[in-house]
Amino acid sequence: LYVISADQLGTGTFDFATLRQLEITPGVQKLLFLGFFVAFAIKAPLFPFHTWLPDAGAQSPTGGAILLVGVLDKVGTFGLIRYCIPLFPKASSYFAPMVLALAVIGIFYGALLAIGQRDMKRLVAYTSLAHFGFIALGTFALTSQGGTGAVLYMVNHGLSTGLLFLVVGFLVARRGSRDVGAYGGMAQVTPVLAGVFLIAGLSSLALPGLNSFVSEFLVLVGTFTRYRALAIVATCGMVLAAIYILYLYQRTMTGPLVHEEARGVLDLSVREKIVVAPMVVLIIALGVYPKPLIDIIRPTVTATFVDVGHTDPAPTAPVNASQAGGHS
């Protein structure tokens, strides 16, 4: 980009506003888009550039995993919206079907791998792969609803996955094991911890009334207006989210038998309750009333797409003539 700006302007620049005004040929635009996209897709991560995620999530300390998967990986998806689409609008439209296909594959691939995990931290890491599939889906649907849902999903994913990693960290600290088989019937011993775990899990699977539902719904509605088949397939992927979360909760928290070595485990301390309380409150509050965040996100996302010529598709449902006359 610097070389192209030097060629066109006489002096090279890294100024974003100036770079957006460059006249880049379609072929070069596609190559530059791919360069940026692959870098941001690795950072996010998106399928098939995700291979570092499960190892990093599983081996990091709990605090590091929360920062990595709950916060820092949003840099990748932010970069897709902030840089790839504005700098390379034609290339974004050209590669959108490819990115959407990878996003849908990632939703199913991440969910299926999460279902089969026995390591709880790896399981939570794989759920992030599925969630980032939804974020990429909303971003490259190139609609205001999809884009708004994608950005909102970044916030909500940080809350739900951050809380999941925190709860798993509490369990590992108490039992010294990440293996799902080392637990069972924990709700009888640690009811408060089990309740927080359930809220975090239900948020991750996008239960209506909790924060992730609103963002996932906006992503799917925004995608449906332009790519109906992909939206329908992605909706089916939501079923898998219910499986991996509820299956994990069932194996660790429920059941009549408490694992022998877990009988003396302590419930959440006052300090731990203070740590999780704000996240639980935000998960519920944003599920019931997400409007303040949406009002901040929607204008910026819409302006970004409109600036590069991506407008929402016209409604396909016919308008009743008598209703139209009445409204006029």
Distance CA 124, CA 116 (A): 12
CA count, 13 A, side-chain hemisphere, 52: 11
Is residue 7 in a domain?
no
What mean pLDDT do residues 194-205 have?
91
Is residue 215 in a domain?
yes
pLDDT at 328 > cutoff 50: no
Beta bridge partners of 119: 179
Q: Give me the helices (H) in 116-182, please.
A: 120-140, 144-175
Q: How many helices (H) and strands (E) does the chain have?
A: 17, 0
Angle 43-278-196 (CA atoms, 0-180°, nearest 5)? 85
- Is 303 exposed, middle or buried, given 0-12, 13-18 or 19+ CB atoms closer than 10 A? exposed
Highest mean pLDDT: which range of 43-47, 52-56, 280-284:
280-284
Is residue 64 in a domain?
yes
Angle 63-69-70 (CA atoms, 0-180°, nearest 5)? 75
pLDDT at 63 > cutoff 90: no
Q: Which of 30-34, 68-72, 298-302, 321-325 has the lowest mean pLDDT?
A: 321-325
Is residue 25 in a domain?
no
Tell me the pTM: 0.86
Is residue 321 in a domain?
no
Is residue 316 in a domain?
no
| CA 291, chain centre distance (Å) | 19
Is residue 315 in a domain?
no
Distance CA 263, CA 268 (A): 15
Instruction: Provide the domain count of the chain.
Output: 1
Is residue 14 in a domain?
no
Which domain, by its residues, includes 229? Answer: 33-40+50-306
Mean pLDDT estimate for the chain: 85
pLDDT at 39 > cutoff 70: yes
pLDDT at 16 > cutoff 70: yes
What mean pLDDT do residues 214-240 have?
89
pLDDT at 278 > cutoff 60: yes
Structure tokens at 314: 């016209």
**Among the listed residues 29, 156, 165, 153, the one whose alpha carbon sits nearest the alpha carbon of residue 103:** 153
